[in-house]
Chains A and B, each alone.
Chain A
Amino acid sequence: MTLLAIDDLVVEHRSPGRPIVRAVAGASLSVGPGEVVGLVGESGCGKSTLARAVCGLNPVTEGSITFDGQPVTPLGLRRRKLTGIQMVFQDPYASLNPRRRVGDQIADGLRTSGDTATAPADLLERVGLPRDFVSRHPHEFSGGQRQRIAIARALAARPRLLIGDEPISALDASAQSQVATLMRDLAVDSGAGLLFISHDLSVVRLIADRIAVMYLGRIVEVGNTAEVWANPRHPYTQALLRAIPKPDGMGVLPAELPGDVPDPADPPAGCRFNPRCPQVMDVCRDKEPDFGPVACWLHEPK
């Protein structure tokens, strides 16, 4: 039983005087309860737009997003019934209200879920902060602590799906894997699914059960984390993994992927990766591979 099903999702950004940008161009993905899915890709590939669409923050152009069998509606000004999806944003310096005590902000989440038994301090404890921090303001905390508070606030609403949109990229290196592991543990313990978005592959590898690789609005490869890591099949995934420098002290410069990400307003014909692909074939320039789990003509399902 899947918790979240994204089917052939298309999200377009329209702005006056500019061509329409297809940030997400036909992406399909599912997240099960208690499952951690990592979504990786370069900046500008549409992974944040996908996350925002799942939360109802961006209108869907085509395709569907269903949560527990119910379609996800855009978030408006009315009170929302759907509180099962909660999001942790990238920048904890911007996502917390600087003028309210953190306890009050966590209490908002508790009120949404109608939870009267839990105190905000209990949630702080769960994310590894002292109970008496409830009466403090966000400026009194470091980046890592703020992100923990943001996680506590999201968890207060008892979500069944937690979404992290680059929740660790604004943090110091030493706090990154701690916060990522914390998110995983809390989500899995409460039986919620976690969609974790990051451009940092080494952290995703640490916490995700499944990994989805996105390129220019499409998901090019999905698979079990260990398998993808050990045996990446899509040339783009291979290039991504090869580009990570290894701390082996050998002084090997990482492999470079030539070219830049093409403009999503004007994607190349055929496979979107073909201008940069080292193994490009004739078919790649004509036809877009629209199959999974590896969207590449080299791995066409028979």
Chain B
Amino acid sequence: MTLDITDLKVTIGGKEILRGVDLSLQEGRVHGLAGESGSGKTMTGLAVLGLLPHGSRATGSIALGERELLTLPPKELNRVRGGEVAMVFQDPATSLHPMLTIGKQLTEHMRHHLGVDKREARRRAVELLGKVRIPGAEEAYGRFPHQFSGGMRQRVAIAIALACSPKVLIADEPTTALDVTVQAGVLRLLRGLCDELGLAVLLVTHDLGVMSAVADEVSVMKDGLVVETGARGQVLREPAHPYTRSLLDSLPDASPPDTEPAAGSDPAPAAGPVGPPAPAPRSEDS
């Protein structure tokens, strides 16, 4: 199933946070969403799940297959949320409930959404823990979040998100709170699950290295607008928009060509002032 976001606008307290975002997620593909903090990356993710803060208004369209999520009645949205669209948050230390065993957290929504009995839910949960490569899945089922390390907790959070076999996974900075070595494991896991289960993943991250490692398509956001969308190799190697270029140039690893980030003085390429980009090329270059 695909998720299409078209002309999504979000205002909070009269302030426009998103000013017309277009994104399209495909089965089995990871779509990366990059941009500085405050550019609206997280808001885009939250809007899909209907988790926007109180007092915010969203217009435009978020279509999951045939259904329009923005106008869905709350009851139906609850069925989608956690069932068909799942989310992984940034900090596994706060996104898991500290006083419930991970088994409880893994089976609760499974029983609610899928209506399976206790034994079946447990069986599935243990299988999932194995899938996200938690050692000793049987014993892990009865443990509490504090008994796991950060990387393991994030794996548990991913397992919880995957429990109801969602079609779409929204991962908001899933590896930012982790060490690089652990990050490598979680990224491999995400990529593997995406390929194996045919998930459509929206990966929100500010780390262009992470983006380059797992994303198929990359969109770059700035001030509530998507300024560039394209295949990973094209956006990261031959950015068309000056803002993407400045992001790449500001990396410590930026290769020699332009030594100065040159704010604003870029010879602007022919294509690409701010505006809704043309439909993203779906070709893959690797």
Q: In whole Å, how far is A234's beta carbon from the nearest beta carbon of chain B?
A: 14
Bound complex: CA A250 to CA B215 (Å):
10
Find out whether the CB atom of B184 lies under 8 angstroms from the CB atom of A254. Answer: yes
B116 at the interface (CB under 8 A from A): no
What size tier do the contact residues of chain A reach?
20 to 34
Find out whether the CB atom of B206 lies under 8 angstroms from the CB atom of A173. Answer: yes
Bound complex: CA A252 to CA B235 (Å):
15
| Residues in A whose Cβ lies below 8 Å from that of B208 | 247
A41's closest neighbor in chain B, by CB? Answer: B179
| Residues in A whose Cβ lies below 8 Å from that of B250 | 177
The answer, among A44, A206, A251, A254, for a CB contact under 8 Å with B183, is A254
Q: In whole Å, how far is B94's beta carbon from the nearest beta carbon of chain A?
A: 14
List B151-194 residues whose CB lies under 8 Å from chain A: 151-152, 179-185, 187-188, 191
The winner among B188, B209, B234 for most chain A CB atoms within 10 A is B209
A43 at the interface (CB under 8 A from B): yes
Using A247-B236, A260-B151 as known contacts, say yes or no to A254 and B36 having CB atoms under 8 A apart: no
Bound complex: CA A180 to CA B235 (Å):
28
A207's closest neighbor in chain B, by CB? Answer: B252
A21 at the interface (CB under 8 A from B): no
| Residues in B whose Cβ lies below 8 Å from that of A205 | 252
A129 at the interface (CB under 8 A from B): no
What number of B residues sit within 8 Å (CB to CB) of A? 40
B268 at the interface (CB under 8 A from A): no
| Residues in B whose Cβ lies below 8 Å from that of A201 | 180
Find out whether the CB atom of A172 lies under 8 angstroms from the CB atom of B253. Answer: no
Find out whether the CB atom of A174 lies under 8 angstroms from the CB atom of B211. Answer: no
Q: Mark B199-226, 1 if CB is under 8 A from A, else 0.
A: 0000000111111111110000000000
A269 at the interface (CB under 8 A from B): no
A243 at the interface (CB under 8 A from B): yes
Using A243-B183, A251-B233, A256-B184 as known contacts, say yes or no to A177 and B212 having CB atoms under 8 A apart: no
Find out whether the CB atom of A43 lies under 8 angstroms from the CB atom of B179. Answer: yes
The answer, among B152, B206, B210, for a CB contact under 8 Å with A245, is B210
B110 at the interface (CB under 8 A from A): no
Using A245-B213, A250-B233, A260-B152 as known contacts, say yes or no to A240 and B181 having CB atoms under 8 A apart: yes
A257 at the interface (CB under 8 A from B): yes
Find out whether the CB atom of B237 lies under 8 angstroms from the CB atom of A248. Answer: yes
B150 at the interface (CB under 8 A from A): yes
The answer, among A240, A247, A253, for a CB contact under 8 Å with B188, is A253
Find out whether the CB atom of B180 lies under 8 angstroms from the CB atom of A249. Answer: no
Bound complex: CA A45 to CA B211 (Å):
27
B213's closest neighbor in chain A, by CB? Answer: A245
Find out whether the CB atom of A247 lies under 8 angstroms from the CB atom of B36. Answer: no
Bound complex: CA A46 to CA B210 (Å):
26
A185 at the interface (CB under 8 A from B): no
| Residues in B whose Cβ lies below 8 Å from that of A199 | 179-180
Bound complex: CA A254 to CA B233 (Å):
16
Bound complex: CA A44 to CA B23 (Å):
39
| Residues in A whose Cβ lies below 8 Å from that of B179 | 42-43, 199
Bound complex: CA A43 to CA B253 (Å):
23
B8 at the interface (CB under 8 A from A): no
Bound complex: CA A244 to CA B184 (Å):
8
The answer, among A174, A243, A246, A255, for a CB contact under 8 Å with B253, is A246
Bound complex: CA A42 to CA B185 (Å):
14
Find out whether the CB atom of B191 lies under 8 angstroms from the CB atom of A253. Answer: yes
Q: In whole Å, how far is A166's beta carbon from the nearest beta carbon of chain B?
A: 12
Bound complex: CA A252 to CA B213 (Å):
5
| Residues in A whose Cβ lies below 8 Å from that of B38 | 172
Find out whether the CB atom of A253 lies under 8 angstroms from the CB atom of B184. Answer: yes
Find out whether the CB atom of A249 lies under 8 angstroms from the CB atom of B184. Answer: no
Find out whether the CB atom of A202 lies under 8 angstroms from the CB atom of B214. Answer: no
| Residues in A whose Cβ lies below 8 Å from that of B209 | 244-247
Find out whether the CB atom of A174 lies under 8 angstroms from the CB atom of B36. Answer: yes
B248's closest neighbor in chain A, by CB? Answer: A247
| Residues in B whose Cβ lies below 8 Å from that of A119 | none
Find out whether the CB atom of A173 lies under 8 angstroms from the CB atom of B207. Answer: yes
Bound complex: CA A245 to CA B191 (Å):
14
A239 at the interface (CB under 8 A from B): yes
The answer, among A172, A240, A249, A260, for a CB contact under 8 Å with B36, is A172
The answer, among A174, A251, A254, A256, for a CB contact under 8 Å with B232, is A251
B12 at the interface (CB under 8 A from A): no
Bound complex: CA A255 to CA B188 (Å):
9
Q: In whole Å, how far is A231's beta carbon from the nearest beta carbon of chain B?
A: 17
| Residues in A whose Cβ lies below 8 Å from that of B185 | 256
A188 at the interface (CB under 8 A from B): no
A203 at the interface (CB under 8 A from B): yes
B37 at the interface (CB under 8 A from A): yes
| Residues in B whose Cβ lies below 8 Å from that of A203 | 252
Q: In whole Å, how far is B29's beta carbon from the nearest beta carbon of chain A?
A: 12
Known pairs A177-B250, A245-B184, A256-B181; list 10 more (Cβ under 8 Å). A173-B206, A177-B252, A247-B211, A247-B248, A249-B232, A249-B234, A252-B212, A253-B191, A257-B184, A260-B151
Spell out B's residues near A (CB within 8 Å).
36-38, 149-152, 179-185, 187-188, 191, 206-216, 232-237, 248, 250-253, 286
